[in-house]
Amino acid sequence: MDWKALANRILDGGAPISREEALAVLKSSDDELLDVLQAAYLIRRNFFGKKVSLHVLKNAKSGICPEDCSFCSQSKSSTAAVEQYEMQSADEIVAGAKDAIDMQALRYCVVTSSRAPSESEMKTICDAAAKIKAQNPGLELCASMGFLTEEKARRLKEAGVDRFNHNLETSAKFYPSICSTHKHEDRVATARTVKKVGLDLCCGGLIGMGESLEDRVDLGMMLKELDTDSAPINFLDPRPGTGMEGRERLTPNDCLRTLCMFRFILTHAEVRIAGGRETCLRDLQPLSLYPANSMFTNGYLTTGGQDFAADKQMIEDAGFEIGHLVNA
Ligand code: SF4
């Protein structure tokens, strides 16, 4: 496959990448990897230049989810040793925004482990959102709180939330293998609701749970159909005490091929390197900046990660630059 020609065809307004071509990206050999990365970079550079947007997470309600997603250490079926606490106060959530700003984040992402936000959780997040936007108008705010009704989605938007995250995680076909308490179509419905009310949609997945390469292509194509604005791509870091305990991690090269596939499919969406970056990509982390234009910094919801100073150094050493400095 002429990878550069594929990228140029897409950039020139020709046919978008087909399922077969997306599968070919995932099946490409290690010898071709630098060519695939270079082609994905042509698309990334066209839409995002050399900018890397940083996102900082806040786990605002931890470890008490009634759902049974088998990869998740916060699920009801997990015995993983994670902190458990109810929804933090609006002031605690507001205080976290300052940390995000200190780490030059474009976006502050507030996450709760829940099936759907309760009325009191809605009130807390809306109060926090109004304060955060009043104090830091340059900071983008994302919420991730489970399933949304249209009415709740509208209230979040009115309160100042810019974006809502709700990952599909994997393909519709593979979804029953990882969760029994809700369906893939439920997740798709919330993603559509988010778009319907005019919130930005952040919708991605988790790779390496035993899904096939075709499942990864299905996920990419579904995210494109949903017109997601942002796609966080997580790599399974199997946690002790979860249903995925003991599963082998993806190789760094497979992670890179996967990021390239998402870049080819989701040409102008943010592709974010998310959980599992450090443990799966290891020393090849800097190469992920060629297809991806965004990353979480300073750790994840229940696990630590590379800190901001090391991420900043990595970005600069690789010749990229942090995309947005917040004036707040
Ligand atoms: S719904 Fe979210 S927080 Fe709850 S178990 Fe699934 S992935 Fe974890």
Give a yes or no: residue 328 inside a domain.
no
239 part of a folded domain: yes
Q: Is the CB of 69 under 6 A from ligand 1?
A: yes
Task: Give the distance (Å) from ligand 1 centre to CA of residue 142.
Answer: 17
Q: Is the pLDDT of residue 168 over 80?
A: yes
How far is CA 283 from each of CA 12, 53, 98, 252, 256, rounded to the nearest angstrom?
34, 21, 30, 8, 12
Answer yes or no: is 326 within a domain: no
* Encoded tokens for 323: 């995309």
Q: Please tell me the distance between residue 146's alpha carbon and the centre of ligand 1 in angstroms.
A: 8
| Residues 300-322: tens digit of each pLDDT | 998 889 999 999 999 999 999 99
Number of domains in the chain: 1
How many CB atoms within 10 Å of residue 284?
14
Q: Is the pLDDT of residue 193 over 90?
A: yes
How far is the centre of ligand 1, averaged over its atoms, from the C-alpha of 231 (Å)? 17
Is 324 domain-assigned?
no
Q: Ligand 1 centroid to 41 CA: how many Å?
A: 32
- Residue 293, domain member (yes or no): yes
Select from 62, 73, 75, 234 the residue to mutate for testing ligand 1; criterion: most ligand atoms less than 8 Å from CB.
Answer: 75
In a domain, 99, yes or no: yes
Helices marked H in 53-149: 90-102, 119-135
Q: Is the beta carbon of 74 within 6 A of some atom in ligand 1? A: yes
Q: Does residue 228 sit in helix, strand or coil?
A: coil
What pLDDT, on the 0 to 100 scale, is given for residue 303?
87
pLDDT at 179: 97
For 218-238, write each residue's pLDDT tens digit. Answer: 999 999 999 999 999 999 999
Please report whether residue 149 resides in a domain.
yes
Residue 250, pLDDT score: 97
**% pLDDT > 90, the chain:** 96
Kindly report the CATH number assigned to the domain that includes residue 18: 3.20.20.70
Q: Is 98 exposed, middle or buried (0-12, 13-18, 19+ CB in 10 A)?
A: middle
Mean pLDDT of the chain: 96
Rg (CA), the chain: 19
Cα of 270 from ligand 1 centre, angstroms: 22
- What tens digit of pLDDT does each residue of 22-67 get? 999 999 999 999 999 999 999 999 999 999 999 999 999 999 899 9
**Could you tell me the distance, in angstroms and rounded to a whole number, from the CA of residue 65 to the centre of ligand 1?**
6
pLDDT exceeds 70 at position 328? no
Closest ligand 1 atom to 115 CA: 1
Q: Give backbone dihedrals phi and psi of 50, rounded to 5 degrees, phi first.
A: -110, 15
Specify the DSSP class assigned to residue 85: B
Q: Do the domain assignments include residue 323? A: no
* Residue range(s) defining the domain that contains residue 213: 3-318
Query: Ligand 1 within 6 A of 59 CB?
Result: no
* H/E run at residue 211: none
The answer to whether residue 325 scores a pLDDT higher than 60 is no
